[in-house]
Amino acid sequence: MRVLLDTNVVVSALLFGGGPCQLLRMLCQCPFELWTSRPLLRELAATLEHEKLQAAVTRTGFSVETLVQAYASQAFVMPDATLPAATFQPDPRDAPVVAAALAAKTDWLITGDRHLLDAKRMLPCEVLTVAEALQRLAQYIAGKGTR
């Protein structure tokens, strides 16, 4: 099972805990493949550098670079050259996420982005919220669900 987390989910997991953090931990412990791309890692770093998140980053006790490297070490990282050209009409800023999901042939794209969630039928993978993914993972771990 291949899974891609949108940057908003990764930021929440790294800085704020809760469901996104629980999800990331579960994905790293299950036989699932966590995927990302170099453009998404660059977006993660840029997002973590935002002034409004500096207090939260400081509370982690880690630098932005360390947080990004720690996340990248848990994932398969696609180089830029493997990404297809992708467009996403509802929000062109989501094109890197769509490109990564297509290139990795992910089964799940987990996001909090309403444009991606609203476009579920447009994408070849399942687009899930954190809560939906946690529910599916709990079923998988309990042996009641299928991958």
The answer to whether residues 32 and 144 touch, using CB atoms and an 8 Å cutoff, is no
d(CA 88, CA 98): 7
CATH number at residue 65: 3.40.50.1010
**Interacting residues of 23 by C-beta distance below 8 A, sequence separation 6+:** 5, 9, 13, 110, 130, 133, 134, 137
Tell whether 26 is covered by a domain: yes
Tell whether 34 is covered by a domain: yes
61, 65, 69, 71: CA torsion to nearest 10 = 60
Domain range holding 93? 2-142
The answer to whether residues 134 and 26 touch, using CB atoms and an 8 Å cutoff, is yes
- pTM beyond cutoff 0.85: yes
Tell whether 126 is covered by a domain: yes
Does the pLDDT value for residue 144 go beyond 60?
no
Query: Per residue in 38-80, pLDDT tens?
Result: 999 999 999 999 999 999 999 999 999 999 999 999 999 987 7
**Residue 111 burial (CB < 10 Å; 0-12/13-18/19+)?**
buried
Tell whether 112 is covered by a domain: yes
What is the domain count for the chain?
1
Tell whether 147 is covered by a domain: no
What residue type is 128 in one-letter code?
L
